[in-house]
Chain A
């Protein structure tokens, strides 16, 4: 019974943390545009917060640059459970136009597990809201939620790992 209440509360008011991992800013300004009067995502109870400890949902934009990759992992680890990750934009999903460049990790799911992908370059604010709403329906069925399989990077290793493939 209490679980149902908690689940309803989480579904009705997810707090977002926006993390820019080296993007061109187009996705970021579309996420911010979702907060402004034309699209007004605050009526869904979504608030954009400033600290990982207050947030339920981590929205990541940008192909993860090397400098940001370890910080992204650290932010993810600082967020309290249950936490969800939305990869916003084509770059965050697969690397986008930046695939093959020497300083990018090519996709958020290489660094943290992702729950929802929103495609687009950049995705319109309506599409981003659609992504968030899809995520909310996942929260409802939180037992059988499908989660992307993430590789667990070993942050404390002193030697670089032999890279295969």
Chain B
């Protein structure tokens, strides 16, 4: 059966990087999903081989704008490992604080986007309004709302003042109270549970064998978190719990993220209260001896891996990135099989892709011998309408 692909322009407001989907359906049920992820390839790995470590840091921070600190911190600590450099404890704490704040802002962003995908726009507006508080704190600490550049090779770029710590603790206290509301919403509000429960099933065995990471894996009961199992920065000091859920569906992933939000707020508070005194930076050497390192980081979306090799010069010989979203794509393909078309937006959004919008999406119905093409927005509206008509679940608008 020939598949016709029509480019119909973009897509919906809360969008991130573009992907192409090709979906084979039988009536309402999905038989096969094929994805095209070439839209965002820029050629960063090659460019890092031609730039020295400091220049590369600015480039690597912009691999992703939402988890930019994850990439930058992971690269910095990998290069410090290549150079066999000891970084001062205070710098590790500063990186940890910004890392946890980034996790908070990313999870708030996700809750809003998930709400938008299922038609709950009020939740989108609420969470993004609260997220602004996190952005304010990040701006106080680092000077920018996004792309904080708090890392440099050898430590942190900027120190933190007593006044900032005090403001930070107050903001986090307010955020903590709001987070309780969102956790309750995610786990017990009837319409949300109706939309999210039983959707996008990913069993424990499949989650493990397909290599899924982060909240996607933890929502299926896989008890793995790099902050506890492969500790880095100052995570071995900070007390925290790893949140898992046994639902194995989108509701499980939502519960995990809501729990992590609350945990991160506590961790950031603890770290702000217990920052050790000292230097924030240690001057690195210009060149790194021949060495190799595998640097891993628990980004908001899961395990981030940077593989780097040095060769005695001030540039990397090889630099390889594996983002957590790439690791989670096979599980989307698995979770979407046999589901309804109406559930596609939330299943894809549930892995929190650092790429969410399709520039073209084609459907091939082998049953009724027809094919059509939709934008993401049309698919999203279809899902909301389907649930309203068939299950009576809607937010009354």
Within 8 Å by CB of A20, from B15, B47, B58, B145, lies: B15
Query: Are A18 and B9 CB-contacts (below 8 A) given A29-B109, A37-B128, A50-B375?
Result: no
Question: Closest CB-CB distance, A100 to chain B, in whole Å?
Answer: 7
**Chain A 67-82 interface mask (CB, 8 Å, partner B; 1/0):** 1100100110010000
Q: Across the interface, which residues of A come within 8 angstroms of B234, CB to CB?
A: none
The smallest C-beta distance from A122 to any residue of chain B, in angstroms, reads: 5
Stretch at the interface among B63-71, B77-85, B273-281, B388-396: B63-71
User: Please, which residues of chain B bring their CB within 8 A of the CB of A26?
Assistant: 62, 65-66, 68, 146-147
A122 pairs with B13, CB closer than 8 A: no
CB proximity of B294 to chain A, nearest CB, Å: 23
The answer, yes or no, to whether B322 is at the interface (CB within 8 Å) is no
CB neighbours of B250 from chain A (8 A): none
B125 at the interface (CB under 8 A from A): yes
Do the beta carbons of A30 and B146 come within 8 Å of each other? yes
Determine the distance from Cα of A22 to Cα of B63 in the docked complex, in whole angstroms: 10
CB-defined contacts of B132 to chain A, threshold 8 Å: 33, 36, 38
B34-89 contacts to A, CB under 8 A, are: 38-44, 46-47, 58-59, 62-66, 68
Contact yes or no, A29 B146, CB < 8 A: yes
Point out which of A96, A97, A121 has the most chain B C-beta atoms below 10 A from its C-beta: A97
Residues of A within 8 A of B377 (CB): 50-51
**B42 near A28 (CB under 8 angstroms)?**
no
Taking the complex as formed, is B160 at the interface, i.e. its CB lies under 8 A from any CB of chain A? no
B-contacting 9-mer, from A101-109, A131-139, A153-161: A101-109
Q: Could you say which of B62, B68, B128 has the most chain A C-beta atoms within 10 Å of its C-beta? A: B62
B147: chain A residues at CB < 8 Å are: 26, 121-122
- From A32, A74, A103, B13 is in contact (CB under 8 Å) with A32
Q: Does A52 contact B (CB under 8 A)?
A: yes
**Known contacts A26-B146, A74-B7; is-contact A63 B42 (Cβ 8 Å):** yes
How long is the Cα–Cα vector from A97 to B335 in the complex, in angstroms? 36
- Bound-complex Cα distance A89 to B357 (A): 19
**Is B14 interfacial (CB-CB < 8 Å)?**
yes
Known contacts A24-B65, A38-B129, A124-B145: does B14 contact A32 (CB below 8 Å)? yes
Q: A18–B15 contact, CB under 8 A? A: yes
A76→B66 CA distance, assembly (Å): 27
Report whether B354 and A25 are in contact in the complex, using a CB–CB cutoff of 8 Å.
yes
Complex interface: chain A residues within 8 A of B43 (CB): 101-104
Asked whether B18 is an interface residue with its Cβ less than 8 Å from the other chain, the reply is yes
Cβ contact within 8 Å between A50 and B68: no
Chain B residues near A103 (CB-CB < 8 A)? 41-43
Give chain A nearest CB distance to B103 CB in angstroms: 15
Q: Which residues of chain B are within 8 angstroms of A19 by Cβ–Cβ distance?
A: 9-10
Asked whether, in the complex, the Cβ of B10 is within 8 Å of the Cβ of A25, the reply is: no
Could you tell me if B145 and A97 are in contact, using CB atoms closer than 8 angstroms? no
Which residues of B lie under 8 Å from residue A20 when comparing CB positions?
10, 15-18, 357
Interface assignment of B216: CB less than 8 Å from any CB of chain A? no
Contact, CB under 8 Å: B9 / A51: yes
Q: Which residues of A contact B9 (CB under 8 A)?
A: 17, 19, 51-52, 71, 74-75, 78
Interface pair B41/A51, CB less than 8 Å apart: no
With both chains docked as a complex, state the minimum distance between the C-beta of A69 and any C-beta of chain B, in angstroms: 10
Question: Residue A23 at the B interface, CB < 8 A?
Answer: yes
User: Chain A: which residue is nearest B381 at the CB level?
Assistant: A50
Q: What is the chain A residue whose CB lies nearest that of B47?
A: A101
B17 touches A50 (CB 8 A): no
Q: Is the CB of B64 within 8 A of A24?
A: yes
**Closest beta carbon of chain B to A19's beta carbon, Å:** 5
CA distance A63 to B63 in the complex (A): 12
Shortest B40–chain A CB gap in Å is: 5
How distant is the Cα of A51 from the Cα of B374 in the complex, in angstroms? 11
Q: In the complex, which residues of chain B have a beta carbon less than 8 angstroms from the beta carbon of A51?
A: 8-9, 375, 377
Write out the residue numbers on chain B whose beta carbons fall within 8 Å of the beta carbon of A104: 42-43
Q: How far is the CB of A55 from chain B (nearest CB, A)?
A: 9
Chain B, residues 294-323, CB within 8 Å of chain A (1/0): the string is 000000000000000000000000000000
Chain B residue numbers with a CB within 8 Å of A29 are: 16, 65-66, 109, 146
Q: Which of A20, A22, A36, A102 has the most CB of B within 10 A?
A: A20
Nearest-neighbour CB distance to chain B for A87, whole angstroms, equals 16
Q: Is A27 an interface position by the 8 A CB rule? A: yes
Give the distance to chain A from B25, nearest Cβ to Cβ, in Å: 22
For residue B64, which residues in chain A have a CB less than 8 angstroms away from its CB? 24-25
6 interchain pairs, CB-CB under 8 A:
A17-B10, A26-B65, A36-B129, A36-B132, A98-B59, A122-B147
Residues of A within 8 A of B (CB): 17-20, 22-30, 32-33, 35-38, 48, 50-52, 63, 65, 67-68, 71, 74-75, 78, 91, 96-98, 100-104, 121-122, 124
Q: A37-B129, A97-B58 are in contact. List 19 more A-B contacts (CB 8 A).
A: A17-B9, A17-B10, A20-B15, A23-B65, A24-B68, A26-B65, A26-B147, A28-B65, A29-B109, A30-B146, A50-B12, A50-B13, A68-B18, A71-B9, A75-B10, A98-B42, A101-B47, A122-B147, A124-B145
